[in-house]
Homo-oligomer: A and B are copies of this chain.
Amino acid sequence: MAINYPNGKKFIPQKELPKKNKKKDFSFSNRGKTLEDELNETNEYYLQMGLAVIHKKPVPVQIVKVEYPSRSAAVIREAYFRTPSTTDYNGVWNGRYIDFEAKETENKTSFPLKNIHDHQIHHMSQVVKQQGMAFMIIRFSSLQRYFIMHFEELEVFWDRMVAGGRKSIPLQEIEETAIEVVPGAFPRLDFLPALQQLQMKHT
């Protein structure tokens, strides 16, 4: 079976799974949650508390065929995944535009740069030129460690790869250049304090 979702992962429409399929044990701990789940919860918390307005952008799809059955909702019958032209998350916090991509890896010693696309790097560089804050949130899933790396740091590693160097960022270099966020109970991934630090470092 060919897998054609742009980022190489099969798309699983989680909200649509019948409840019996959900592993109940996982709802108490944070195991089994994706980084996206954790960020959505955190962003929802920020929204409720009036701390930040951050949303994940919808998955971009090219719609080809729509049916309009009478007396019920329009049904999309043919559509394709499109490559996003931006990062996945953006919003406003404390007057600042923030924009980020969130990526997780099972790897324990480095973060593979193939997880990021060219056009996302380009987008983040445009954001920084407009004085927005652009960064990447990295989760090392096996280690349960989270890092926030400003685009200006990420760009150095990206350029090194483009120049023929390493295709991944070693954990040690991430520890040296990014800000670690220690996960908590609620909100799971309280990353705003890290943004305060980023702001001081990168104006």
Contacts and interface: CB of A to CB of B under 8 A. Distances in A.
A62 B97 contact: no
Size category of the A interface is 35 or more
A75 B82 CA distance: 11
Interface string A36-67: 00000000000100101101011111111010
Given A16-B62, A80-B73, A130 B94 contact: yes
Nearest to A60: B58
A27 B130 CA distance: 32
Nearest to A65: B13
A10 interface: yes
25 contacts: A2-B70, A2-B72, A4-B72, A4-B74, A5-B74, A10-B68, A10-B74, A11-B66, A13-B62, A13-B63, A13-B66, A53-B127, A57-B58, A58-B59, A58-B82, A58-B84, A59-B61, A76-B79, A79-B79, A91-B97, A92-B99, A92-B131, A92-B132, A93-B130, A94-B130
Given A2-B71, A11-B74, A90-B90, 7 more contacts: A3-B68, A11-B66, A47-B126, A61-B76, A61-B79, A92-B131, A93-B130
